[in-house]
Amino acid sequence: MAEEEIMKKLKDSVINLDKDAAKEAAEEALKVGIDPLDAMKRGLYAGLKEVCDHYEETVFITDMLLASDAFYSGAEVLKAKIDKAKMQKKGIGVLGVIEGDVHDLGKNMLKYLLEAEGFEIHDLGFNVRVGKFIEEAHRLDADLILVSVMLSSKFPTIEKIVDLARENELKAKIMVGGGPVTEEIAKKYGADGWALTAPQAVKEALKLVEKSKY
């Protein structure tokens, strides 16, 4: 099968939320000698991006989660063969749901999209202590600390993370998001970045990492 045809198959498998088709197409890509990194980017990721681009109008949580599942099922196959040296990391992020909060659906979605974009994400799970964000960001010399907050009672905890990161002179920029968090709230508690949805968060993360280089 021609390369472009397989690329289309990879892309469509994600758009069609079809895990099995993604895996199959990835195996085919390897068989005919397509560069796995290229298959990931131009195939699977292109599909995921298309799903995300429509999130605001016609795509739902259910679709996003299943598109991510399809992406991962193909990516698993390709990853094993990707030359690590060639993989360009966009940045390192520490991600978690704030202390006292167990809502993790949004956090997981963000993780899938950031990883697909090429970030190295360390997922701390939910109900994450303030200190844990800081320790991990320090240990990994992270570029980003991403905090998901679904309970408005936890807004003041954002400030604690921000203060502690500054006290420890971490280079990481702090992004917050999640249902009730508005841009105003993010600013009020001192975060560097905010986004309404996971696809927008990826764009914002890229900008923040870019900025921190200068």
Partner 1 sequence: MTPMERILGLISRKKLDRIPVFPFVSAAAAKVRGLDYGEYAKKPDVFLRCQIEAQQLIGYDAITAMPDLCVEAQGFGAKIIYPSDNAAYPDPYNPVLKSADDYRHIGELFSWDKAERMNNQLQVIRTVRKELPGLMIGGFTIGPIGLISRLRNINELVRDFVHHPDKIHEACEIVTEIQIEYIEKQLEAGARTIMVPVVLAEREIMSKQMWEELDAPYQKRIADFVSSKGGIYAVHTCGRGPYFDLLIKWLHPLLIQNAHLPDGIATEEEMVEKYSKKLLLLGYLSVSQLAWMNPTEIMEECKRQIGVFGKARSGYFLGASCEYPPYASLYNAMAVVKAARVYGANFKAGVGANCEEE
Compute the distance between CA of residue 194 and CA of residue 101 in angstroms, rounded to an integer: 18
Q: Cβ of residue 61: shortest distance to partner 1, in angstroms?
A: 5
Q: Which of 1, 131, 179, 211 binds partner 1 (CB under 8 A)?
A: 179
> Which of partner 1, ligand B12, none interacts with 168 (beta carbon under 5 to 8 A by kind)?
none
Q: Cβ of residue 15: shortest distance to partner 1, in angstroms?
A: 14
Map tokens 């196959």 to a residue: 77
Residues in the chain: 214
Residues 6+ apart with CB under 8 A from 191: 147, 158, 162, 174, 175, 176
126 binds partner 1 (CB under 8 A): yes
187 binds partner 1 (CB under 8 A): no
> Which of partner 1, ligand B12, none interacts with 60 (beta carbon under 5 to 8 A by kind)?
partner 1
198 binds ligand B12 (CB under 6 A): yes
Residues 6+ apart with CB under 8 A from 107: 95, 96, 97, 123, 126, 148, 178
Q: Are strands 144-148 and 173-177 parallel, antiparallel or unpaired?
A: parallel
| CA angle (212 as vertex; 209, 213 as ends), nearest 5 | 95
80 binds partner 1 (CB under 8 A): no
Instruction: Evaluate the CA torsion angle 149, 155, 157, 162 in order and state its sign.
Output: positive
User: Binding residues for partner 1, how many (CB under 8 A)?
Assistant: 22
71 binds partner 1 (CB under 8 A): no
146 binds ligand B12 (CB under 6 A): yes
108 vs 192, beta carbon nearer partner 1: 108
Contact residues for partner 1 (CB under 8 A)?
Answer: 17, 60-62, 65-66, 69, 100, 102, 104-105, 108, 126-127, 151-153, 155, 179-180, 182, 185
